Amino acid sequence: MLRLDWISHRNWVVKFQGGVSYGMTETYIITAAPTLFSEGEYAGKLKGVTFTAACRTGTRQWFTKNCGQFEVEFGKIMVRGVARSLAAALMRGEEVELPGEYTEPQFERGFMLEWSPIYLVAPPQEYSY
When pLDDT is averaged across residues 76-99 and rounded to a whole number, the result is: 95
Distance CA 76, CA 95 (A): 20
pLDDT of residue 101: 94
Instruction: Establish if 60 belongs to a structural domain.
Output: yes
Q: Supply the range of the domain harboring residue 93.
A: 27-103
Instruction: Establish if 16 belongs to a structural domain.
Output: no
Distance CA 46, CA 38 (A): 10
pLDDT of residue 114: 72
Instruction: Establish if 19 belongs to a structural domain.
Output: no
Instruction: Establish if 8 belongs to a structural domain.
Output: no
Number of folded domains in the chain? 1
Q: Is the pLDDT of residue 3 over 80?
A: no
Residue-wise pLDDT tens digits, 30-66: 999 999 999 999 999 999 999 999 999 999 999 999 9
Instruction: Establish if 61 belongs to a structural domain.
Output: yes
Please, is 40 exposed, middle or buried when counting C-beta atoms within 10 Å of its C-beta (0-12, 13-18, 19+)? Answer: exposed
Instruction: Establish if 99 belongs to a structural domain.
Output: yes
